[in-house]
Amino acid sequence: MTGPAAGELAVWAPAASRLRAQISAVGDGSAAAEQIIVELEPAEGGWWRVGVPQAVPGADYGFLLDDDDTVLPDPRSRRQPYGVHGPSRCYADDFVWSDQSWPGRDLVGAVIYELHVGTFTPGATLDSAIERLDHLVELGVTHVELLPVNAVNGVWNWGYDGVDWYAVHEPYGGPDALKRLVDACHRRGLAVLLDAVYNHLGASGNYLPRFGPYLKQGRNTWGDLVNLDGEGSAEVRRFIIDNALMWLGEFHVDGLRLDAVHALADSSSPHLLAQLSAEVAELAASLGRPLSLIAESDLNDPVMITPRAQGGYGLDAQWDDDVHHVWHALLTGERQGYYVDFGSLASLAKVETHAFFHDGSYSSFRGRPHGKPIDRQRTPGWRFVVCLQNHDQVGNRAAGDRLSSLVSAGLLRVGAVLLLTSPFTPMLWMGEEWAASTPWPFFTSHPEPELAHAVSEGRLAEFAEHGWDPASMPDPQDPATYRSAILDWDERVRDGHAELLALYRELTRLRSSCPDLADPRLDRVAVGFDAEARWLAVRRGSYLVTANLAAAEQLVQAPGAAEITLATAAGARLVAPDTADADARGARVLLPGESAAVVRLGRTSSAEQLA
């Protein structure tokens, strides 16, 4: 049994003067169930323990602090069958795995697919997600990334309001359902990444401060700061790291995406992230398979992926929002909010070769210089996870509108080509591969009316700050808002959707079979463009990725072009060089408006010819 040891209950509550546990009959935490109450004994380090023969798998239990008779869930609860406000349940880790031969999979050459369990399928469970895994295999995905699955208030939620970090959200199917999904992924050769949120706790069901100093003075965007460096922080850090190791070890997950690490206020040495990466490296060595840690960070600071021996945090990769912002602004023309500095072809050339656009340059959105440069000779591009869309960039729009509702079908295909031929680790957002028409707005199901109102008001203020029209935001608490986000899988075979899906499949196939198109060496990338004519060409080894962003067809320089390997529109063709300018310009490719082509080069052509 995990969580409470068989026959024993334990909890960290350093400020408590008395601690009791209430235990109910197996599988029945109702008020009418037979219950016993036992006193816990104080132990070393602020812990309390008691031997209880009734603490067996399936038994429901909770803690009573001091002389308060309120039954609170276990901070390390492994199951919350009655929701985040109900008692915990003793859980037996007796799942029978079939992935003993799974070798693991690192991020080199990865294609990630980000999904939200509650809207990925109409079934809205981990088991129903298994039914769609073959689609991901056929798509060419290597890693499935799950938005947070920890227990949250209500039934449907993005998952970032988690309060019981050790428990799998019961409406998703609970802990064994997650294990079934991971096992099924591994049978199909898919690695699993899990989104973990350690920077704040949700507003409802957070009982941790009742037990100990889990929080400290100060707030970030989402809530009170987690205590990583104050009194009692050693146990709080242990609480976080043990949780990460649980997902990677017991649940066989292959990596974690660490949410908004810039909101971790930690002055300690080592930093929490460095401590975490060191312990995960030890676990990987003992398991004999790679384990990955990916930071979501808006700091543009290579410290995240710098080895610990060189003073960094030693994480494997980090999200790179600058690349998304460049592509999005370029394709849509949007320049509001944080898109203000992005969208030019010069900014595209910068990120394709240097990963960060802001690497010490002035950020108009922030009103100050931002970021630090990477060492592009030593830092491979696969360490940067990039996307055209993700849950944040879609869901943080007032209406949750996808890129497919903002740009033409032609530009959507151009974006797919740029994403899947880039030197970075590409990530797809569920449904983007067939231009899903379903939006993905912000939704919640808080049962407390006051909290629901406060959350809605907070989102309205956030949208106004970023330039969105608050009037276009659907009510997050309306069940129809949630239902609108559920993918319509029948769309995949319909006109206007099936064609894009075929393109995504062909692009992932090319990325896998043509090493140059996945080459992560940033110093080998060269970009040429004409800002006025709106065309670009990206040199990828023996290939040239060309795109015409203008509405009319035009010639794009393609020095050394031998054949077109892939084109997103009919009519793309190579044009032999004119005799008069053959030495200066060489071959060219004729691209229809708003289209792209991957061109194989037949002879060496210098990067300078692209400019």
Contact criterion met (CB below 8 Å) for 88 and 2? no
Using only C-alpha atoms, the chain has a radius of gyration, in whole angstroms, of 26
Q: Residue 28, CB half-sphere, CA atoms under 13 Å: how many?
A: 8
Residue 194: name the closest of 154, 235, 165 by CA.
165
202/458 Cα distance (integer angstroms): 14
Taking a C-beta distance cutoff of 8 angstroms, is the pair 127, 180 a contact? yes
Q: Which two tokens stand for residue 60?
A: 């429901």
Nearest to 535 by CA among 553, 547, 543: 547
Cβ atoms of 193 and 141 closer than 8 Å: no
Of 259, 298, 320, 352, which one is the catalytic site residue?
259
Q: Which residue(s) pair with 219 in the sheet?
A: 224
Tell me how far the alpha carbon of residue 184 is from its chain's centroid: 20
The residue length of the chain stands at 611
Dist. CA 294–CA 261, nearest whole Å: 10
Contact 446, 477 (CB under 8 A): yes
Catalytic (active site) residue 296 = yes
Catalytic position from the list 114, 170, 195, 296: 296
Per-residue CA distances from 340 to 116, 208, 363, 520, 534 (Å): 29, 40, 9, 28, 19
Assess contact for 561 and 602: CB atoms under 8 A.
Answer: yes
DSSP per residue, 115-130? E-HHHHSTT-SHHHHH
Candidates 594, 324, 360; CA nearest to 432 is 324
Q: Which two structure tokens, joined as six digits, stand for 273?
A: 């992230």
Query: What is the distance of C-alpha 553 from the center of its chain?
Result: 37
Token reading at 537: 């060409």
CB atoms within 10 A of CB 581: 10
**Largest alpha-carbon pair distance within the chain?**
94
Cα–Cα distance between 323 and 529 in angstroms, integer? 17
Give the whole-angstrom CA distance, residue 601 versus residue 545: 10
Structure tokens at 423: 């030197």
Return the DSSP state at 380: -
Annotated catalytic residue 583: no
Alpha carbon distance 17, 15 (integer Å): 7
Structure tokens at 437: 């028409």
Omega of the bond prior to 270 within 30 degrees of 0, cis?
Answer: yes
Cα first-last separation, the chain = 63
Residue 487, token pair as written in the block = 């993918």
Active-site residue list: 259, 296
